[in-house]
Structures are given as structure tokens and as C-alpha cells.
Amino acid sequence: MDGMNADKERFWAHSGEVWQPLGEHLENVAGLARRLALLAAPRDAGFQQLAEWCGLLHDYGKYTNCFRGMIRGEKLKCPHAIHGAAMAFFRLRAPHVASAIAGHHAGMPDLGVLRSEKAGKARKDADALLMRASADLPLIGRLLEGPTPMLDDPGLRQKISPSRLDQGAGPAPGEGLRVGA
């Protein structure tokens, strides 16, 4: 991994021919999810927001040391979906988002899995990753460390989304979630 900056840890979403920084991947998927939700339901700001949260948190578990080792070639099994699902379930209080994240590779799980002992450990692990994830992608911290966003809050769009989305335009490619003012 040439070009690693010693001042800032680098986290990777994928390996292969092209390496993609994890923060960039999460922002891109969040932006794409919002654009698709906008096409599917142009007047449903809440649905668009939920889609964006799914994109932002779907690979949150790739901030773990296990995943970092796996991407470097170590033979490890590192489930990553449960961490983002735990953050959506416990921090955002969004079980529907948690379900989508938990099933993004294996299909939709029973939400009972998020109340299991395994999910309790994942929640602790996910909470421990928050500082690392926030340093890499500050908008994760703004979403997860602040007060729980309320989808029925009339000011939600102004607090979380780019103003251009409020005008009905989709985000530009690579433009992701903007949390806070």
C-alpha cells in the first residue's frame, strides 16, 4: 500500500487492481443510495435519508483490525455488516436501516439477531470503532455522535442534507451525506 500517510491511518474498502479508501467508498455508496431513493420516491425525504444512512453505514465494520488484516492478505474471517447494523439499530434507533445493512451480503436477517449476545458484542465493538471511523470520515461522527436524528423533524433536511437536495436535485457524483451545519 504505497502512499500511506503516517499522519492519518488509511482504511480500505476493497483490494484488487484498484484500492479504494473506505471513507470515499462509504460517501459514494451513500450518495448513490440517496440518488436512487430520490428517483424511486422524489417526494419522500425520509426514505431518501434512510437510504443514505444505509449506504454510509453498510461497511462500517471494515474499520476493524480484523478487516484491516484480511485486506492485507491475512487468512481471517471478518464479518463487517453487523457493526453498521448495530450502530443503526442502537444509535439511530432505525431497525429498518439495521436490517438492510445486516443483510447487504447475506440477505435480510431476522431482527432478533440484533438483540442477541453476538449483536451485543458487535455493538460494543462498533462503539469502539467510532473514534477511528470519525477520524477517517467526520460525517460518520456527526451522524452517530450527535442527538438521534428524527425523521419526522421538519428541519431534518436542512440539518443533514446538502441544500441542493432540498431543491430536488440529486447529489453530484462523489458527493455524500452532509450532517450538521
Q: What are phi and psi of 139, to 5 degrees?
A: -65, -25
pLDDT for 41:
95
10-residue stretch averages of pLDDT, the chain, 181 residues long: 47 78 94 96 92 94 91 86 89 88 72 67 87 93 80 44 34 38 30
Q: Which three cell numbers stand for residue 17?
A: 487492481
Of 158, 159, 129, 119, residue with least CA distance to 143: 159
Over residues 105-147, the pLDDT tens digits come to 666 666 666 666 666 777 888 899 999 999 999 999 988 887 7
Proportion of the chain in helix, strand, coil states, percent, rounded to 5: 55, 5, 40
Of 135, 38, 123, residue with least CA distance to 88: 123
pTM of the model: 0.74
pLDDT for 103:
74
pLDDT for 168:
35
